[in-house]
Amino acid sequence: MKGRMVALSIPGLLLPGVAWAAESGKIVDPVESWNHLWHEVLIDLFIMGTIFAALAIHWLIKYRATSPDQVGRGPTLSRAQAWSWAMVPAFVFMADDFFLAAKGWTVWNTYRKVPENAMEVKVTGNMWYWQFEYPNGATSTYAYDTKEGDGLMVPVGTPVVLRMTSNDVIHSFGMAEYRVKEDMMPGRITYIWFYPKEEKQSWVTCVEFCGTLHSQMYAPVKAVPPAQFDAWLKQKKSTL
Ligand SMILES: [Cu+2]
């Protein structure tokens, strides 16, 4: 029983839920692993920052000059003590860095591993709009000048993988809501995937400076109920 508790608590220390969900075939949402990691980084920075600020203040007070003509003393540490002061904090920091780096690696794996049932949408970047192509050949876009068009439509409850390229310069597809961002380059295909879990409209913005109207290169991302999505897709297809 005790051994089992230890075995259970080790992955629990890493990313709770993430490792288990991956094994059970459930969809691992990168949004959750991303948020979890950054939450930990913030806590980590807060603890480290507090310890060092407290030590600095303590030593500033303890070793302050008490009179203008006070002469300082040389170090009184032995060689072993001096080495310890240098090496112990260095190892503590490095252990912390490696710990967070390993977690980051785990998060990255969730970003690269596309769920098997993901719907594929082809995305082509142009100055200054995106063209989205769905599995049935239907397309959608959002005009940077007239602000008309559906943008990216996705059904709630299905992971979506975007296969992306560019017709002209380098753009970058950034969806803050889904914590994903990836460059789109002429002659190359890159990908990202995300998991729209609830009905919601968010935005995609271009996050790589791509010319005069870069700031106008954005589009709505609409996660709609599956029935609504299917109807929309059919209607788009019929107007091809
Ligand atoms: Cu762009």
Ligand 1 centroid–CA 140 distance in Å is 17
Ligand 1 centroid–CA 4 distance in Å is 51
Ligand 1 centroid–CA 162 distance in Å is 16
Ligand 1 centroid–CA 149 distance in Å is 17
Question: Which amino acid belongs to residue 84?
Answer: S
Phi, psi (rounded to 5 degrees) for 165: -150, 180
Answering whether pTM is above 0.75, one says yes
Ligand 1 centroid–CA 131 distance in Å is 12
Ligand 1 centroid–CA 190 distance in Å is 15
Ligand 1 centroid–CA 208 distance in Å is 6
Q: How does pLDDT run across 8-22, given as a tens digit for each residue? A: 444 444 444 444 444
**Other residues' Cβ atoms within 10 Å of the Cβ of residue 221:** 22
User: β-strand 180-184 against 171-175: which pairing, if any?
Assistant: antiparallel
Band (93; pLDDT cuts 50, 70, 90): confident
Query: How much is the mean pLDDT over the chain?
Result: 88
Q: How does pLDDT run across 168-220, given as a tens digit for each residue? A: 999 999 999 999 999 999 999 999 999 999 999 999 999 999 999 999 999 99
**Residue 21 corresponds to which tokens in the numbers above?**
């969900």
Residues around ion ligand 1, judged by CB within 5 A, are 171, 206, 210, 217
Ligand 1 centroid–CA 135 distance in Å is 24
